[in-house]
Amino acid sequence: MKFPWTFLVLVLVMVSVTTGYTNPNDKPEATDYATFFVENRLSDETVEERIAQLGLPFNAHNTPQIKSLIRRFTVEGQHDSEDILGRAKIYFPIFEHYLRMYGLPETLKYLPIVESSLRPAVFSPVGAAGLWQFVPSTARLYGLTVNGQVDERLDPHRATEAAVRMLASLHQQFGDWALVLAAYNCGPGRVRKAMRSAGSSDFWALRAYLPTESQRYVPRFVAAAYLMNYHAAHGLSPDFPDYDLLDTRTFKISRSLHLGTVAREMGVSYRTLTKLNPSFLQGLIPASSKLQYVTIPTRVANQFTQRYLQNDNLVIPANRQKSQYVTVPGDSLDTLAVLFQCSKAELIAWNGLTDDKLTVNQALNVYLPRRVARP
C-alpha cells in the first residue's frame, strides 16, 4: 500500500509549529546562539575580568574587535576551536620548553594558534609554512633547512626554537610584547613606521597605522588566549587526535632512515609517521651531523630505540671504548663533551636525547678514547 507521506509531513510540521517546546539542554541555532551569547553570557565586564586574568605580557584592552573574535572562536568556529584545543595537547609542551629555555613569557605559546591553528604542515598562499608560518628567507636566516628533501619549518622543535629566537630578537628591538607580536606579523620596519606616524610606541595608539591584517593580529592573539583558558565556560571541549599522534616520544638521530621502513618494522601506519614528521618531505630522514628530530608513538618507543638507536648502529671511532657515566650536580653536555673528548652532538646521539638538559644521577652512554681513564 502506498503510504500518504504528504499527510505525515503536514502533521509533523503542524506539531513543530504548535507545540513551541524547547529543550533547555539543546543549543540554539548558530545565529540565535550568537545573539544569546553576546547578550547573556559575554558582558563587557566578564570579558574585561577574564582578559585581566590571562597573564598576558602586555596591556590587553577590551575592544569590540576582541569581543567579536572571541565570539568567532567560541560560537561561529567552535568545531575548529575544539580541534585546536585537542592539538594543543601535542604542541604546547614543545612551545613551553623553548620559551622557558630562552626566558620568554610562556603565554607566547598562544601565537601559533593565530599563525596556523596549530597545524604543523600548513602552507599560506604567500609561501609561509608550519606552526609559526616562516617564509623561506626568514627560516634560513634563523638556521632552518628548507629544500626539496627537508623543510624544517614543518618541524615543531626546529621551527619553535627559531621562532622563539626571533621573538627574543624583536623584544630586544622594541621592549614591548604587543609591538613584538605586530612586528612578527608585518616586520619591524612597518612597526617603526607606524610608531613615527602615530607619535607613540603604544600598540593600541598606533595600530591604525599598521596594515589591516596586523591591526587584527594582537586582538586575535588575545582572543586565542581567551579560548585556551575559558573554553569550558562556553561548552567547548578538546577534540583530541588519534592516540598515536597524541602520546609520542621524540628522538634525535644522525643516520639515514626512511619512514616507510620504520612504519613496516614497527607496525605503525606510514600516514601516522608522516603526520608526526612532516618536515621530511619525501619520507626520508637524511643522514646529518646536525641530528634530526624524529617523533614516533610511545607504544613503539622501546622497539625504535633498540632497532635504530642502539650504540652499535652509531658510527663509533675504532679508538673508543664503551662506558657509562652517571651525572652529578653541575654537569652539562658542554662540560662532559670536554671531559670525554667528544662533541656535544655525539653525546646526544649516543643517548637519544631530545634536548641538552640533564638531571642529576642520569646514566649516560659514553665512548671513551682508550687513553682516557673512566671517571
pLDDT, tens digit, for every residue of 21-54?
Answer: 333 333 333 444 445 444 445 688 888 999 999 9
Q: Annotate 44-80 with DSSP letters as a single string.
A: HHHHHHHHHTS--SS-----HHHHHHHHIIIIITHHH
The 3 state secondary structure assigned to 303-367 is: HHHHHHCCHHHCCCCCCEEEEEEECCCCCCHHHHHHHCCCCHHHHHHHHCCCCCCCCCCCEEEEE
Tell me 292's DSSP state.
Answer: E
Query: Do 322 and 297 belong together in one domain?
Result: no
- Whether 44 maps to a domain, the answer reads yes
CATH number, domain containing residue 364:
3.10.350.10
Q: How many domains does the chain have?
A: 3
Among residues 234, 267, 293, the one where a domain terminates is 234
Domain span at residue 285 reads 243-309
**Are both 53 and 112 inside the same structural domain?**
yes
Looking at residue 32, what is its pLDDT?
43
- Residue 291 to residue 145: CA distance in whole angstroms: 12
**Taking a C-beta distance cutoff of 8 angstroms, is the pair 298, 272 a contact?**
no
- Give the end of a domain, one of 264, 290, 309: 309
State the Cα–Cα distance between residues 160 and 153, nearest whole angstrom. 9
In whole numbers, what is the pLDDT of the chain averaged over residues? 85
> Which residue type does 246 have?
L
Domain-embedded: residue 136: yes
Q: Which residues pair with 257 in a beta bridge?
A: 285
In this predicted structure, what is the pLDDT of residue 244? 95
What's the CA dihedral at 122, 298, 353, 261 to 10 degrees? -70
Residue 30 included in any domain: no
**Within this chain, do residues 176 and 118 fall inside the same structural domain, yes or no?**
yes
For residues 296 and 224, give the distance between their C-alpha atoms in angstroms, rounded to a whole number.
29
Q: Give the CATH number of the domain where residue 261 resides.
A: 3.10.350
Q: What's the pLDDT tens digit per position in 241-279?
A: 999 999 998 888 888 899 999 999 999 999 999 999 999
24 is a domain residue: no
Does 261 share its domain with 303? Answer: yes
- Considering the domain boundaries, does residue 15 fall inside one? no
pLDDT digits (tens, 9 = 90+) for 165-199: 999 999 999 999 999 999 999 999 999 999 999 99
Query: In the predicted model, is pLDDT for residue 367 greater than 90?
Result: no
81/150 same-domain check: yes
The C-alpha angle 354, 118, 167, rounded to 5 degrees, equals 70
Phi/psi for 37 (5° steps) reads: -60, -45
pLDDT tens digit sequence for 4-17 = 444 333 333 333 33
Global pTM value: 0.74
Cβ(134)–Cβ(162) below 8 Å? yes
- Residues 204 and 303 reside in one and the same domain: no
2 has pLDDT over 60? no
